[in-house]
Amino acid sequence: MKLSALSGRAPQLPLTLALDNGQLLVIEQWLRVLPGQRYVGKAQWQGRSVLAKILLGSKTARQFQRELAGAQLLSEQHIDSAKLLDAQQQADGSAYLLFEFIDNAQSLAAAWQECAADLPLSEQQTAVLGRALSAIAQMHLRGLWQSDLHLDNVLQQGEQLYVVDGGGVQSEQAGQPLSSDKVISNLAVFFAQLPSAFDAHLEELLIHYLMANGEHALRLESLHKQILSIRQWRVKDYLKKAGRECSLFSANINPFGLRVVWRAALSELESLLAAPDAAIATGHIYKTGGAATVARVEQDQHQFVVKRYNIKNILHWCKRFWRPSRAWQSWREGHRLSVLGIATPQPLAVLENRWCGLRGSAWLISEYCGEQDIIDRLSNYQDDGVVPEAEIVALVELLNALIREKISHGDLKGHNILWHQQRCYLIDLDAMQQHHNMRSFTRAYLKDRNRLLRNWPQGSPLHTLLDQRLPQLPSSCPED
């Protein structure tokens, strides 16, 4: 098969591709696919394992030159990276780049996932971020930066780090330290991808950067400002992706229905998506009737939570059909929390019944995160108030995260906070809101806090302890 004949999101493997020079490229595993544009995979070429990047479409020539220039910059400036073995633009308009395959390597993004749930800054988190910042500093010291800077672009093989993905590598003045403004803007891109809880630890984290590149005194105020701006953009961009077809989500939206699925879970959910009500009927029912039905279901040895938002009667339908469903609201807000690093069950799919665009029943499918809520978790401590510190810290951290992001829940009763993997997970998000100013958020947060405390009798030792420990805000705040 010619490279230009590649199509679809998952071409069948193994796949033999013929290059213009007569050589063969045998793809063994797809690592990243943008259909019709970019195919990245592990392959065999001339008897060795390689990382193959195949470029297609109208932007091929420009993308090829960027990838080639970036790889050359890394090599010329002696930044450890995968060696470029071959690269060619072909007569049919396709292009390819072949890199040595770095065996037994782990991306720092994978290493981060192993400790992302820790409280900031755990020892393991510090180690991962420190290694990343050291690699970034080495690039900046040699006048390079990576526009698409994230943890997936640094691989670790033992103690050796490799910078990969040259397509985003650019230079200001190759061989000369990057200017202070470029350093700050590039570091802001990196830090904006971390939960905002890490903003308080910037000075501590930057030590790892400055140990490798101490050319500039970094202005923390300017860095904070740029981090905030980029993080806001990232959230907006991610929420747009959560409503359309892209590499992260599979979306089918038309006047007679809506189906958006987190692509990583698509294969596991196919049978559930085809008949969600049948799965609910055979699952473990938590709640039924009224405005919502909730059940735990099992599909192919995986457990999920399915919530169906019901239409109770014609009057209820008249109030609901013209606006986004509560399932869609929960879907968006769940992804907002996820990208901000606030614990919530991963939203996996959302479905809506529609007729000529008018909305009816809707379903939200999420990962299963256990059944113990914070009320049940603290039930043994109501009378003495001697609560394990881990539970208090987790609850305080959840509320502090909501404060940092100006997010109100709208119904913060204890049943809507799950205790899972030593963290507090927020659920039932259809009334959640991110506020644009502190005044409106302060009012909403006060309601949330009071609603949470009402789960325990006023004057009880547990109520008194939580009232003392849960973060508070002034009753009135100026516009922010």
Query: What confidence score (pLDDT) does residue 299 get?
Result: 85
318 domain residue, yes or no: yes
Residue 478 resides in a domain: no
Which one of 367, 392, 417 terminates a domain? 367
Tens of pLDDT, residue by residue over 159-193, are 999 999 888 999 999 999 999 999 999 999 999 99
**Whether residue 393 sits in one domain with residue 356:** no
Same structural domain, 382 and 415: yes
Do 339 and 312 belong to one domain?
A: yes
N- to C-terminal Cα distance for the chain?
Answer: 59
- 331 within domain boundaries: yes
pLDDT for position 479: 45
As a whole number of angstroms, the distance between CA 445 and CA 327 comes to 23
Please indicate, yes or no, whether residues 95 and 119 belong to a single structural domain of this protein: no
- The answer on 309 and 254 residing in a single domain is yes
Q: Nearest 5°: phi and psi at 194?
A: -90, 155
Find, among 472, 471, 474, 470, the residue nearest to 462 by Cα: 470
Q: Are residues 386 and 356 in the same domain?
A: no
Whichever domain contains 305, its CATH number is 3.30.200
Q: Would residue 475 count as lying in a domain?
A: no
**Structural contact between residues 66 and 79, judged by C-beta atoms closer than 8 angstroms:** no
Based on the fold, state whether residues 163 and 84 are members of the same structural domain.
Answer: no
- The domain boundary residue, chosen from 241, 257, 275: 241
453 lies in which domain range? 374-469
- CA gap 309, 303 in Å, rounded: 20
SS3 content of the chain, % helix, strand, coil (to 5): 40, 25, 35
The answer on 85 and 192 residing in a single domain is no
Burial class from Cβ neighbours inside 10 Å (0-12, 13-18, 19+) for residue 64 reads buried
Answer yes or no: do 233 and 254 share one domain. Answer: no
- Tell me whether residue 42 is in a domain: yes
Last residue of a domain, one of 367, 397, 412: 367
pLDDT at 300: 79
Q: Are residues 157 and 180 in the same domain?
A: yes
Task: State whether 110 and 233 are in the same domain.
Answer: yes
**Residues 441 and 342 both lie in one domain:** no
Residue 476 lies in a domain: no
Q: Span 270-285, mean pLDDT?
A: 92
Segment 202-253, tens digit of pLDDT: 999 999 999 999 888 889 999 999 999 999 999 999 999 999 998 899 999 8
Q: What is the mean pLDDT of the chain?
A: 91
Question: Distance between CA 368 and CA 305 in Å, rounded?
Answer: 6
| Strand, coil or helix: 403 | helix
Mean pLDDT of 383-388: 81
Instruction: Identify whether 479 is part of a domain.
Output: no
Q: How many structural domains are present in the chain? A: 4
User: Does the residue 474 lie in any domain?
Assistant: no
With bands split at pLDDT 50, 70 and 90, how would you rate the model's confidence at 315?
A: low
